[in-house]
Copies of this chain bind each other. A is one copy, B any other.
Amino acid sequence: MGDIRLDPMTARWVIISTEKDFGPEGYDIESPVLEGGTCPFCPGSEKLTPPEVDADRPSNTAADTPGWETRTVPNKYPALKNEPELKRTGMGVYDMMNGVGEHEVIVEGIEHDKQLADLDVEQVRKVINVYKRRSLELGRDERFKYVLIFKNYGLAAGASLEHSHTQLISLPIVPRRVTEELECAHRYFDYKERCVFCDIVKQENEYRHREVSENEHFVAFCPFASRSPFEISIVPRVHKAHFTDITEEEIDSFAHILKEVLMRMKVALKDPPYNFIIHTTPLNGNGDESECYHWHVEVMPKLNKIAGFEWGSGFYINPTSPETASKYLREAKI
């Protein structure tokens, strides 16, 4: 039993169970540990990956040798293959296209047992700089409409390797969730001539009961209509539609809050599997997104099973209210 809340970012309704309102002890959190074997992301194993496409390394070291601080390589098992031409085909009622896209892996540091939360802020800053650099690079290809940056940590969150890494996929389509957010942001802007995300940041920052952390350039909070328990949004205070417009100063701020949020989650939820995704506007959009859309990050610890009800209906039941979740996260001793 609980409230039914509307997410103003997606116009999605969510049942928030304010009665159960589980704390971390209400979940059977799966250990994120994965299998051993030779790690292809450790220094010295560079030959186990496809050749690097980007690296933070001193100029006196050769590509695909040790000495790097971050290293980006094509995914060995890509979801999409980079075929030279995008072809669309119809087959009766159906439509398809060939799987054109790049799929890359950013290795975030040299230490096998340090996750993103454990890296020092300076290293997190380097990682975010790689996100920006690779997004800009992949975004130059006109076949692509979107660059998706996401992280899977732990088996239950879809990771298959332990060594801390982020993935990038460039896509010839805009993902559904982004289209939904864009439509919603457009409707809000048409009505109010304000950005819905700017209004949310302002309201959360005043209300404070769902806030997890804040700094000069960012606010982190558990969203009002969280679909899953302990979900966290990190939203820049300054209105910018595209992630790649982030400045050096903002990157520094982002590194601080990202590390802090991940560390709070690690402590409060005992190192849970999680995913995060950077939501940004499509490449080569029609321009009016810049007024109404606002890039942000969605962080989702993987605590409960998504049942058929949720998945098949698009209607979520969340057994922990964001007010309770943010309290645990704020109070975590980090």
Contacts and interface: CB of A to CB of B under 8 A. Distances in A.
Interface of A: 1-6, 8, 12-13, 15, 17, 20, 77-81, 92-99, 148, 150-152, 155-159, 167, 169, 171-173, 175-180, 196, 199-200, 203, 207, 224-225, 274-277, 279, 298, 300, 302, 305-315, 317
A334 to B, nearest CB: 23
A177 B312 contact: yes
- Chain A's interface: helix, strand, loop or mixed, by majority? mixed
Nearest to A15: B79
B313 A3 contact: no
B177 A309 contact: no
Contacts of A1: 78-81, 99
A165 to B, nearest CB: 13
Given A4-B172, A5-B94, A99-B1, A275 B311 contact: yes
A166 to B, nearest CB: 11
Contacts of A152: 307-309
A128 to B, nearest CB: 18
Which of A167, A312, A313 counts the most chain B CB atoms within 10 A? Answer: A312
Nearest to A7: B94
